[in-house]
Structure 1
Amino acid sequence: MAYITKRGSSYSVRYTYQDEHGKSCDKWESFPTKEEAVKRQKQIEHELATGNFLIPSTVTVAEFLMDWLPKQCSKHKWAPKTYQSNLALIQNLIIPYIGEMQMQKLRPYHIEALYDTLSKTPCGQYVGGKRRDLSPKQQKRTLSGTTLHEVHQLLHNSFLLAVEWGILIKSPVPVEAPKKTTQERSIWEVDEMRAALDSMEDPILHLAVHLTLVGALREGEVAGLTPEDIDFDAANGMGTFTVNRSMQRVQKDTLAQVDKGCILRIFPDKLEGSKTSLILKDTKTEASCRTIFMTAALREELKQWLERLKREEALDPERYRNSGMLLRLPNGLAVEPVLIRKKFLKWQDAHPEFPRIVFHGLRHSSATYQLMISGGDIKAVQGTTGHASADMLVNTYAHIQQSSRVELGKKFESGFYAKPDTPSPQAVPAAGEPTISMTALLELLKDADPEMKAKLRLALLT
């Protein structure tokens, strides 16, 4: 039961409830008018009777999220990078703005206000939860819609659990998420890929790029290869290499939080007191474990590279620190993904004649080229790229190459300006060949499986 008591010029609603530990607690809530007090009294009595009463809590957003994070990491066995990225979102984009607010006082307009603030916030304003002073140039680059969408997803998922845990009755996160920022990733045409590879004199960079172009590898997968992954005799002498590991550098604090099951190896620190560790872990998904078929040129380069490793170790066996990785420095230490990126950036600075792309753009370039030369064989290319779904491959990695557009332009010209008696370059059904109307085709596609729809999208692109 709830009781109303007049206290001076206000009215108080007094009621008793049991907290999460089963202990009886008395609670007083004050209202300026009797009507408001009566309304609250009826609400409390109804909630107590139906078991929907929300136990009063002063837990703040910061306290809740920092409690939620390790629990979810343990439950879902997050990889180190997943934990790190979620921690960064909480520390840098949520806590500085609404972290001190009590969960039960949070309303949808507070979340909308957060999104509005973040949309005007410079990238890197907070790092590790600490505010930084940014230069005028840095202040011009604001957070992307994709980052805001990630914040929304984190709040959505975490606050749903807050409802399950009895902290909230209803999630205050708006239904509509901030719109993602979609930007086409720059890629290279096949001629640019070939010319760039020919111009790379750094043997480590050359091999890393060659492996990436042939196998559409992620940079962590390139660095994670070992000599044991190579089989020159496989596929009737064609040769293969297996991708089943990835190299990353992560915060040591993160390693203490995540499940160690996915971590295969932690490399020794190069510097004493380092706050990060270089690790070798399982690949991103099960589909990422795959076998790549070599080209003759890559096969020859790998043979020469393995001979080079033997020579470097023989020069000074006592000081050689064999990391066991395929890509090694002359002293035997592993080549980290960040070093590959730095070498690629240095090469780009020296070769401004090539379009500027990020190293991951090589993976996109390779996937696009393989889709094109395979005639849209999505499954075959998916086996090389290691994507879990064909949708991701087609929607994210199938870029439009300029050469394809030029060819399309030529076909348009020859068909559009053709004389009436000149046959169109569009394929004409042969005699007796079945035809289908556009209406019938659309009806068939309505119930098509996702892979078929993905093939259609790819066909329209090329």
Structure 2
Amino acid sequence: MAGTFRRRGCKCPPERKRCTCGAKWYYRYDITDPKTGKRKQKEIGGFRTKEEAQDAATRIQSELLNGTYVELKKKTVGEYLLDYVENTLKQEVAPNTYEQRLAFVENHIKPHIGAILLAELTPQQIQKFYNDLREKHSAGHVQNIGNLLNKAFNQAVRWNLIFRNPFSLVRKPSTSRKNTKIKVWTTEEQKQFLNFVAGSGPHWCYTMFLLALTSGLRKGELIGLQWGDVNTKDGMVTVKRTAVIANKELYLKDMPKTESSIRSIQLPPQTVKELKKWKVACPTNPLNLVFPSPKTNGILYPNSFDKRFDSFVKGAGVAKISSHGTRHTFATTLLANGVNAKVVQEMLGHATIKTTLDTYAHVLPNMQKDAAKQLSEVLF
């Protein structure tokens, strides 16, 4: 095979038959410059084994023979990712998703591995990158960054910018929540909170937070809810959209978080009753929102939602949880009272039941005790 192979920077003693220092293999070959007609040497490397370097060499020589060879560009990881997000991914995703992915590149990827050449990034460097991120961020956040990188590097392989995707060799942090403790309210705390809001807040706030605790809707889904999505006759609410922020503007996105997020939820009679009362009092607004902003009559900003929620939590004297904690509280209450996990999954809009079971694993031991007790009562 044309070209030569070498292991660069090996620090192992000469008498050692096998390299254990992690030195990488490189392949050096000749190409003809199409502009000058002169031959010049090129080298690619960063391969873990000689076999990997030989595979790359075979591919290069094949492309040189059939005229499809494209010279690898010496782009850094940061340069490539910015170009990929701006010119490729931007056309495929919603504006808020594009902004989030761009923030991943600027805030996380560039500071850690952005200066490394695209073709020389190693699995070891990636693993360290994941470990460093995991010290400051959740496993889910690191997973999302890893998903972006894996997708971008798969595209780099298809574009002949690199010969292999090193991210496919590294395991991303698990997003399992089995050992994560979720803060939720007891039924007594829920009653205490709702009683306080009913006595001190405007009726729309009471209705909104009552709906949150009895439907499991996400914050964006509550804010984006329109009266056309509420069937007070059948006591159903349908989730069709969510409120998102992109380019510093708040707007309604027709597709919620996932396809499974489009769902219909049966409401308790008490919640339906409050929605009927609020529908009569609700101000007319251009988007026909169930909970329009009291200041602008448009979409309620998520931070305004959170500020009101935090204020009521403090006033009610209940345990401090985030506004998303109402969703966790809804699910935990149902599971703890024997509602089938599959039903809870559908009401929450989770893509798989595994997500539901992993998220609310802390409820399962008590459910198993109740099941064993019921079995005992039936058989003995």
User: The TM-score by the shorter chain falls in which range?
Assistant: 0.7 to 0.9
* Amino acid corresponding to residue 153 of structure 2 in structure 1: F
2:40 corresponds to: 27
Q: SS in structure 2 opposite 1:15?
A: strand
CA distance in 1: counterparts of 2:38 and 2:77, whole angstroms = 24
Alpha-carbon distance, 1:284 to partner:
2.1
Unaligned runs of 5+ in 2: 5-27, 44-52
Contact 2:193 2:312 in 1 (8 A): no
CA distance in 2: counterparts of 1:290 and 1:42, whole angstroms = 52
CA distance in 1: counterparts of 2:37 and 2:131, whole angstroms = 42
Alpha-carbon distance, 1:115 to partner:
3.5
2:20 corresponds to: none
Unaligned runs of 5+ in 1: 5-12, 31-40, 121-141, 252-274, 314-320, 413-423, 432-462
Find 1:64's aligned residue among 63, 80, 97: 80
Summarize the Cα distance change of 1:194–1:111 in structure 2 as closer, same or farther, 3 Å threshold. same
* Amino acid corresponding to residue 269 of structure 2 in structure 1: A
1:36 corresponds to: none
CA distance in 1: counterparts of 2:288 and 2:375, whole angstroms = 56
* Amino acid corresponding to residue 290 of structure 1 in structure 2: R
* Amino acid corresponding to residue 358 of structure 1 in structure 2: S
2:170 corresponds to: 175
2:61 corresponds to: 49
CA distance in 1: counterparts of 2:361 and 2:104, whole angstroms = 29
Contact 2:90 2:98 in 1 (8 A): no
Alignment partner of 1:393 is 2:342: no
2:311 corresponds to: 346
1:254 corresponds to: none
Alpha-carbon distance, 1:395 to partner:
1.8
* Amino acid corresponding to residue 101 of structure 1 in structure 2: I
Contact 2:225 2:290 in 1 (8 A): yes
1:148 corresponds to: 142
Residues 384-443 of structure 1, C-alpha deviations (whole Å, 9 max, x = no match): 2222222222221454299x59x959x99xxxxxxxxxxx99717749xxxxxxxxxxxx
2:376 corresponds to: 427
Find 1:289's aligned residue among 237, 244, 262: 262
After TM superposition, the structure 1 = structure 2 runs for residues 212-361 of structure 1, keeping only pairs within 5 Å, are: 212-234=212-234, 239-251=235-247, 275-310=248-283, 322-330=286-294, 332-351=297-316, 353-361=317-325
Find 2:157's aligned residue among 154, 163, 168: 163
CA distance in 1: counterparts of 2:139 and 2:216, whole angstroms = 27
Identity %: 25
1:107 corresponds to: 122
Q: SS in structure 1 opposite 2:166?
A: coil
After TM superposition, the structure 1 = structure 2 runs for residues 110-129 of structure 1, keeping only pairs within 5 Å, are: 110-119=125-134
CA distance in 2: counterparts of 1:42 and 1:300, whole angstroms = 72
Q: Quick check: which has more Rg, 1 or 2?
A: 1
Residues 342-364 of structure 1, C-alpha deviations (whole Å, 9 max, x = no match): 1111222333x311111111111
Summarize the Cα distance change of 1:428–1:116 in structure 2 as closer, same or farther, 3 Å threshold. closer
Q: SS in structure 1 opposite 2:282?
A: helix
Summarize the Cα distance change of 1:240–1:164 in structure 2 as closer, same or farther, 3 Å threshold. same
Contact 1:2 1:16 in 2 (8 A): no
Alignment partner of 1:381 is 2:330: no
Q: SS in structure 1 opposite 2:351?
A: coil
CA distance in 2: counterparts of 1:208 and 1:23, whole angstroms = 72
* Amino acid corresponding to residue 376 of structure 2 in structure 1: A
Contact 1:208 1:340 in 2 (8 A): no
Alpha-carbon distance, 1:326 to partner:
1.0
Summarize the Cα distance change of 1:208–1:382 in structure 2 as closer, same or farther, 3 Å threshold. same
Summarize the Cα distance change of 1:212–1:26 in structure 2 as closer, same or farther, 3 Å threshold. farther
Q: SS in structure 1 opposite 2:376?
A: coil
Alignment partner of 1:194 is 2:191: yes
Alpha-carbon distance, 1:143 to partner:
3.1
CA distance in 1: counterparts of 2:240 and 2:181, whole angstroms = 29
Alpha-carbon distance, 1:103 to partner:
0.9
TM-score, normalization by structure 2 = 0.75
CA distance in 2: counterparts of 1:306 and 1:44, whole angstroms = 66
2:19 corresponds to: none
Summarize the Cα distance change of 1:386–1:23 in structure 2 as closer, same or farther, 3 Å threshold. farther
2:22 corresponds to: none
Contact 1:54 1:168 in 2 (8 A): no
Q: SS in structure 2 opposite 1:176?
A: coil
CA distance in 1: counterparts of 2:147 and 2:201, whole angstroms = 42
RMSD in angstroms over aligned alpha carbons?
3.7
